[in-house]
């Protein structure tokens, strides 16, 4: 194009712009709005398409997703001695014990390196990048690192430096084997390696260190993912127990409903404590699911109209032991390492976003899934969605509304009635999600958690099923059921189960020695009933025991001794001998040691080691603030654009000034709108 043609082209464009003062800004607005909208709903993690005979399903690509790929958490939470801030990454929060479902502890550094593409050579990784090794004593390192004791001290520079700080004369020790050095300088054995600066040494300078499984290091449970070299970038599909699809359940999103809905009972959402068919009474935002055949209500099937309730608006019981509390309702389509939660169903856009929640672990139990929400996949109406293993059946449990659905009035508890197994929520202490109630000076909620932790924390919690035993000289035979291992021949257990349709036959089979399935246990002896029976039993036992004389002190049972004796009665029955040394069929705890252990766990629970109410803090306020900030920024940008256009010499015509002002205004409106949509 020659200069003359270029000049004529510019004149033509200028004429068009003059005639399109209103059309062009509108076009620019539409373009920007579409760009921002697509960004707002972009899935934050790598995905893959899984093709079945009926549909193509969007799934996370676990071969490309590691803990470092997850977005930061939006909410600050404090749980016992654990806390994290808004903006922290998941690998900085989670400890190895928290992801025990994936079995990271059986990995070694060498195994992790083999599974992580393009990982750095150990010669170039500082020993300080593996702080767990610094917490080990020299004697323990020699014990777990193959042949370390057979190396000469001079061949292992970090240990030589450590020895030089302990022993004044290191010249005579350098030529000795490390085993010999420990014998000559006994205080070295209990000295931790982090007594010296480890940043000047590499991991490769301790021979065979990378071949040691993580579980062999003392204190591995509390080490964060980010503190294990390469672990945060290990694909989740490469863990010893990989993250993968559980079952093959795929459904179609038929409809999307907001929080104004109520009384939804055909659900497939809940928790691993309550089951996955938990009823919702009010504020029931949800997605309605259907078979993939996509013929709607014209063709009714067993999955027709299933409801996945939003965890933003509804929470259910979760966790175990001292950390039991409340978590968003949802599902585990990819295993128990995290929970998938439906968040905000948007009726106007026919779109719904989902999020992930993780949990943490302490020696006394696992928390509910409270670490989140971490943005996950977004779906439209008619999209296939992977829902995992469909359990079926009803749990007869009821979820409760979250802070997101609260009005200015305080939340009212769901009332109990003869047709419901939902117990009335107990009064909670300030700062704790674990609900507490007191009989005299005994916190029965903490006592309940202590007993549960001892009875079933490692064997299924509410789904725990014990051995078949006979008591009272063979007159009472049955199986210990559920979280508190309540015997099936107990009168209150039989009454509760017998009131359910089919319960009498279920009891007959159990008391004859047939072990029930977890699905049967949820149906006939759901968590809410288990909780209610133990609470009633403890209340009666506490009142009765307080009026009895302790043969050890000669005084009425009170304080710690009251806790111990009530625990002994739970373990051995009302007529059991105080502080007896006999045990049950497992030969584990004696009556006396059982009471002492329950007291220890009870004291742990009552010393502030419970959940913070901040776990469900709503991020809506911060989102609005962010939207306002972006809108202010957009306004400034638009003003600047307008001024540039207004004063430019190239487009000096007064008729063009409205054009540039409209462009600026359009940008401001579209950026602000896209922010609020997001």
CB within 8 A of 162, min separation 6: which ones? 138, 188, 191, 193, 195, 196
In this prediction, what percent of the chain has a pLDDT beyond 90? 36
Q: Is the model's pLDDT at 50 over the cut of 60?
A: yes
Report the share of the chain in percent with pLDDT over 70: 73
Which residue has better confidence, 358 or 395? 358
- DSSP of 343-354, one letter per residue? EEEETTTTEEEE
Say yes or no to pLDDT of 136 above 80.
Answer: yes
- Average pLDDT of the chain to the nearest whole number: 77
Give the H or E element holding residue 384. strand 384-386
Rounded CA separation 436/128 (Å) = 43
Confidence label for 452 from pLDDT (cuts 50, 70 and 90)? confident
pLDDT for the residue numbered 660: 53
- With tokens 């049967």, the residue in question is 520
Q: What is the pLDDT of residue 81?
A: 78
Task: Taking residues 403-424, report their average pLDDT.
Answer: 41
For residue 673, the tally of other CB atoms under 10 A from its CB is 18
Q: Quick one: pLDDT at residue 269?
A: 92
Q: Is the pLDDT of residue 311 over 90?
A: yes
Cα–Cα nearest to 101, from 236, 277, 271, 276:
236
**CA–CA distance, 428 with 324 (Å, rounded to integer):** 13
Interatomic CA distance for residues 96 and 103, integer angstroms = 8
Q: Residues 656-666: what's their mean pLDDT?
A: 54
User: Do 67 and 239 form a contact (C-beta atoms < 8 A)?
Assistant: no
Which pLDDT tens digit goes with each residue over 582-600?
A: 765 555 678 888 999 899 8
How far lies 58's CA from each of 46, 49, 226, 291, 308, in Å?
10, 5, 29, 16, 18
Q: What angle do CA 616, 274, 399 make, to 5 degrees?
A: 50
Burial class (CB in 10 A: 0-12, 13-18, 19+), 337: buried
Give the DSSP letter string of 404-462. GG--SSPPPPPPP-TT--PPPPPPBPTT-SSB--EETTEEHHHHHHHHHHHHHTTTTGG
Which residues does 339 contact at the CB level (< 8 Å), separation at least 6? Answer: 271, 311, 327, 328, 330, 331, 332, 356, 357, 358, 359, 369
Q: Compute the Cα dihedral for 61, 65, 69, 72 and give only its sign.
A: positive
The whole-model pTM stands at 0.60
Task: Assess whether pLDDT exceeds 80 at residue 106.
Answer: yes
On whether the CB atoms of residues 78 and 218 are closer than 8 A, the answer is no
Which distant-in-sequence residues (6+ apart) come within 8 Å of 350 by Cβ? 256, 380, 381
**Exposure on the CB side of residue 170, measured as CA atoms within 13 A:** 16
- Tracing tokens 């117990």 back to the chain, one arrives at 423
Cα gap 141→152, rounded to integer Å: 15
Q: Tell me the CA end-to-end span of the chain in Å, nearest whole number.
A: 45
Question: Is the predicted pLDDT of residue 457 greater than 80, yes or no?
Answer: no
Whether pLDDT at 420 is above 50? no
What integer is the mean pLDDT of 601-625?
Answer: 47
Q: Do residues 674 and 36 touch, judged by C-beta distance below 8 A?
A: yes
Instruction: Number of helices (H) and strands (E) in the chain: give both, helices first.
Output: 17, 21
Give the per-residue pLDDT at 415.
35
Q: How far is CA 639 from the centre of its chain?
A: 45
pLDDT tens track for 250-305: 888 999 999 888 899 889 999 988 889 899 999 999 999 988 765 444 445 566 78
State pLDDT tens for residues 507-535. 999 998 898 887 788 778 887 788 888 88
- The tens digit of pLDDT for each residue in 347-391 reads 888 899 999 999 998 878 888 999 999 999 999 888 889 998 876
The C-alpha atoms of residue 329 and residue 271 are separated, in whole angstroms, by 6
- Phi first, then psi: what are they for 101, rounded to 5°? -60, -25
Residue where the block lists tokens 């029955």: 573
pLDDT higher than 80, residue 661? no
Question: Which 3 state secondary structure label does DSSP give 36?
Answer: helix
pLDDT of residue 294: 52
Structure confidence at residue 238 (pLDDT) = 93
Looking up tokens 């299933």 gives: 306
**Residue 182 above 50 pLDDT?**
yes
Whole-number pLDDT of residue 366: 87
Proportion of the chain in helix, strand, coil states, percent, rounded to 5: 40, 20, 40
- 516 exposure class (CB count in 10 Å sphere: 0-12, 13-18, 19+): buried
Token pair listed for 88: 């922290």
What is the model's pLDDT at position 672?
A: 46
Q: Which residues of 647-665 are buried (b: 16+ CB within 10 A; e: fewer)?
A: eeeebeeeebbebbbbbbb
On whether the CB atoms of residues 589 and 565 are closer than 8 A, the answer is: no
Residues 494-501 have a mean pLDDT of: 87
């Amino acid at each position: 194009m020659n200069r003359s043609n270029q000049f004529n082209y510019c004149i033509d464009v200028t004429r068009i712009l003059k005639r399109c003062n209103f059309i062009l800004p509108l076009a620019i607005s539409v373009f920007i709005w579409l760009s921002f909208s697509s960004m707002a709903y972009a899935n934050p993690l790598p995905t893959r398409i899984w093709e079945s005979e009926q549909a193509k399903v969007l799934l996370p690509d676990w071969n490309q997703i590691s803990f470092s790929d997850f977005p930061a958490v939006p909410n600050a939470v404090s749980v016992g001695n654990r806390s994290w801030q808004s903006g922290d990454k998941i690998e900085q929060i989670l400890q190895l014990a928290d992801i025990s479902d994936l079995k990271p502890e059986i990995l070694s550094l060498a195994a992790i390196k083999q599974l992580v593409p393009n990982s750095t050579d150990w010669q170039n990784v500082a020993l300080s990048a593996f702080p767990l090794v610094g917490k080990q004593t020299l004697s323990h390192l020699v014990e777990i690192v193959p042949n370390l004791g057979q190396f000469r001290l001079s061949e292992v520079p970090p240990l030589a430096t450590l020895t030089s700080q302990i022993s004044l004369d290191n010249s005579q020790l350098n030529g000795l084997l490390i085993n010999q050095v420990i014998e000559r300088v006994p205080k070295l054995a209990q000295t931790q390696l982090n007594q010296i600066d480890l940043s000047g040494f590499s991991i490769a300078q301790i021979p065979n260190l990378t071949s040691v499984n993580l579980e062999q290091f003392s204190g591995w449970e509390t080490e964060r993912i980010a503190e294990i070299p390469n672990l945060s970038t290990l694909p989740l599909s490469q863990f010893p127990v990989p993250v993968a699809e559980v079952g093959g359940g795929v459904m179609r999103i038929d409809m999307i409903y907001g929080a104004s809905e109520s009384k939804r009972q055909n659900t497939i959402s809940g928790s691993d404590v309550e089951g996955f068919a938990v009823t919702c009474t009010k504020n029931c935002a949800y997605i309605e699911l259907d078979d993939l055949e996509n013929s709607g209500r014209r063709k009714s099937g067993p999955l027709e109209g299933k409801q996945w309730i939003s965890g933003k608006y509804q929470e259910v019981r979760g966790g175990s032991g001292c950390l039991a509390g409340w978590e968003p309702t949802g599902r585990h389509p990819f295993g128990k390492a995290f929970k998938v939660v439906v968040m905000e169903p948007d009726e106007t856009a026919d779109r719904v976003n989902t999020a992930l929640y993780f949990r943490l672990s302490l020696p006394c139990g696992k928390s509910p899934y409270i670490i989140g929400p971490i943005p996950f996949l977004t779906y439209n109406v008619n999209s296939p969605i992977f829902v995992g293993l469909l359990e079926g059946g009803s749990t007869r449990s009821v979820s409760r509304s979250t802070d997101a659905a609260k009005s200015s009035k305080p939340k009212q508890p769901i009332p109990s009635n003869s047709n419901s197994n939902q117990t009335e929520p107990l009064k909670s202490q300030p700062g704790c999600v674990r609900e507490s109630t007191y009989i005299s000076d005994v916190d029965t909620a903490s006592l309940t958690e202590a007993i549960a932790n001892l009875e079933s924390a490692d064997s299924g919690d509410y789904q725990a099923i014990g051995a078949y035993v006979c008591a009272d000289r063979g007159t009472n035979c049955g199986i210990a059921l559920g979280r508190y291992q309540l015997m099936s021949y107990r009168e209150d257990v039989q009454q509760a189960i017998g009131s359910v349709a089919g319960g009498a036959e279920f009891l007959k089979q159990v008391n004859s020695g047939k072990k029930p399935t977890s699905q049967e246990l949820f149906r006939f002896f759901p968590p809410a009933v288990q909780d209610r029976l133990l609470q009633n039993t403890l209340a009666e036992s506490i009142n009765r025991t307080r009026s009895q004389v302790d043969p050890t002190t000669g005084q009425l049972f009170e304080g710690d001794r009251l806790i111990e004796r009530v625990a002994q009665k739970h373990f051995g029955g009302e007529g059991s001998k105080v502080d007896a040394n006999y045990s049950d069929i497992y030969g584990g705890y004696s009556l006396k040691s059982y009471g002492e252990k329950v007291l220890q766990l009870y004291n742990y629970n009552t010393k502030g080691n419970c959940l913070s109410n901040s776990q469900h803090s709503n991020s809506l306020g911060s989102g609005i603030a962010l939207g306002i900030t972006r809108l202010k920024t957009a306004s400034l940008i638009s003003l600047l654009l307008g001024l540039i256009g207004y004063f430019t010499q190239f487009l000096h015509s007064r008729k063009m000034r409205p054009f540039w002002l409209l462009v600026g205004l359009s940008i401001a409106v579209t950026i602000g709108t896209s922010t609020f949509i997001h």
